[in-house]
Structures are given as C-alpha cells and as structure tokens.
A = this chain, B = another copy of it.
Amino acid sequence: MLNELVRILREGRRFVITTHKHPDGDGLGAMFALGRSLRIAGKEAVLLSEEPLTPPFDRMRGAETVLQNYTPNGEPVTLILLDCADFDRPGKVVESFKGDAEVVNIDHHFTNTFFGRYNWVEPECSSTGELIYRLLQHAGFPIDREIAENLFIAIQSDTGSFRYENATAAAFSTAAALVGTYGVRPSRCARLILDEYPCARLYLLRSALGTLETHLRGKIAMVTVSLDMYREAHASTSDSDTFVDYPRFLSGVEIGVLVRQTAEDAYKFSLRSNDFADVAALAKQFGGGGHKRAAGFDAQGRLADIKLLFLGAAAEMLEAHAA
C-alpha cells in the first residue's frame, strides 16, 4: 500500500486534503505537513476543514492556508482523508466529491471502515502524523522544519506527550529524528498546542473540579462542565479538552469521564480507560466510537437519565471483566 501511495503522490497534480470535524493536533499536523510537502514538490494542495480553526490550532503553522469549502472544477483530483475512521467524519466539505474523486484514506483508528479507493490504515501506529512521516520518507518527498514541527505536534498531541498506550518505540524514534534532524523543539510544540492557555481555562478547571464524582466503588470518576461554567469563566469548549485526564488519573479509576454540555439538553461524553476497559465498545452502545483507551459519544436528554444509562452499561462492562 505504501508503494501504491507513493505512486499516487508522485503522479497526481492536484490534491485536496482534509481531516475530521473538531480537528485535533494529529489530523491537522498531518494535513499541514502533507500539504506543504506536496506544494514544495510542485503540486497543488488544497486543505479543507468544515469549521474555521479555533485556538490553539489556529496557531499552528499552515493554519492560514485552510479553506472552509472548495468546489472541484471537474479536473481530476485526489481527495486524501487523514485521521478519519469513515468518509463522513470531515462533514459537509467532502460531500461534493462523492463518487468523483480518487479517495485516499490514511488513518490509525482500528474502527476504520476502509471507505477509500486506497486505504492505508495502521491501528498499531501512534498517530496519523507518524504515518505521514513514513510516507514522505519513503517517497523521498521534502521535509523541512515546518513540516517536521507539524508532524511532531501530531505525534505529541495524540500520545498525550508520549505517555498514552500509543507511545510506541516507533513514535519515540520518529520524534528523535524530527528533533535531531530537523531541529524541532518539543517544548515549543508543547507550548503551542498543549501547554498554553488563557486564565479562563484555569477558572473553568476550578469549577469543573468541584463536580468530581466517583461511581462503582471508585472504578469510574466523572467531571462535568455545564454551559453556565463556560459562560462564567469566559471559556470555550476547547478549554476543557484535556479535563478528562483529571478523573482518569485518580488512584483506582479504570474509566475517566468528562461530560460537556453542548446545548440545553445535549451532552458530549469523553471516555478514557487506564488498563483494560474497551471504551470504544462502550461509546458504540451510545452511537459513538474511538479507540480502545479513548472514545466518546454525544447524547440528548436529561443529564441524570443519560448518566444512569451510561453507568449501567459501564458497570456491565467492568463486571464482565471482573468475572
């Protein structure tokens, strides 16, 4: 597949690259890196994202080149989806391509549906960024400092700065190459994406920590952020992006849960597991998905009802494991 992709990159003239909605450091880092490398190699590369980028991602180098829509003019184009488990993940921006374009699917989610004409899916790989590094290396396509930095950000953010289960030997050696060969500064990347935030985030964190609750004899810990809290702290949704780690890291916890209110009766559940629980399977029961150790779902209704259903399903999963 890698050789096939190299051929496509070499022969293609016009590429449209996109990633999933609510993009993260991995999808965007991979997209900026691939887009810039193709452009330096003399190709046309259009980068698409359904919504304008929000902080901290709008600070990434390459963010200024992202478009919100693009209408193919009939000329042949290769559409590359990065970090997308299925074809719908990017949202409306890919609708106009249906049936038309040669679709390339590069991803590391094990739930990937192999929706492309060409599918390079490596669930064992730390991140889509690491795949793009391998692809560019293999193809002999250009990598400069900016590309290397975006690839590093992709790996760093998807591995929780090299401390989640996907912090593999390959992730570390790729990072070593990006730092050693291209002069990437990990502290600069961390500060760009993970480690710089407005006071509002700390105000929000303070109120969120006040909602900490534990269930199922401490196996599940949960933190909730309401619309009121966002409002009072003058914070945005992305300010709570990493809050799920607070309940997750408590001693004895297997599943950490962050509940974010998104509208009057709408909630987004983010799930993380520490040792054994397959939270992708758990999220799937509620129409969501993700990785074994990191997944999520959206739910409508009264929060108390949703929580009850969720805790029931989680209890079943934990009991099945204990048995």
Interface residues of chain A, those whose CB is within 8 Å of chain B, are 156, 160-165, 167-170, 172-173, 175-177, 179-180, 185-187, 189-191, 194-199, 202-203, 205-206, 209-210, 212, 214, 245-246, 248-251, 274
Contact = CB atoms under 8 A, between A and B. Distances in A.
Given A161-B162, A173-B180, A198-B251, 11 more contacts: A156-B163, A160-B161, A161-B163, A162-B175, A163-B190, A165-B185, A169-B177, A172-B173, A172-B180, A195-B249, A202-B209
Nearest to A168: B179
A172 B199 CA distance: 32
A199 B212 contact: yes
Contact of A250 (B161, B168, B179, B198): B198
29 contacts: A156-B163, A160-B161, A161-B161, A161-B162, A161-B163, A162-B175, A162-B186, A165-B185, A165-B187, A169-B176, A169-B177, A172-B176, A172-B180, A173-B173, A173-B176, A173-B180, A176-B176, A195-B245, A196-B249, A196-B250, A197-B249, A197-B250, A198-B251, A202-B212, A202-B246, A203-B209, A205-B209, A206-B206, A206-B210
A240 to B, nearest CB: 14
A201 B206 CA distance: 13
A309 B197 CA distance: 28
A187 B169 contact: no
The 9 closest A-B pairs by CB, nearest first: A169-B180, A163-B190, A172-B176, A173-B176, A167-B186, A169-B179, A206-B209, A172-B175, A162-B162
Contacts of A170: 176, 180
Given A191-B249, A251-B197, A172 B163 contact: no
A99 to B, nearest CB: 42
Contacts of A251: 196-198
Contact of A187 (B163, B173, B197): B163
Contacts of A185: 165
Given A180-B173, A197-B251, A210-B206, A191 B246 contact: no
A246 to B, nearest CB: 6
A109 B319 CA distance: 49
Contacts of A179: 167-169, 172
A187 B245 CA distance: 13
Contacts of A177: 169
A163 B176 contact: no
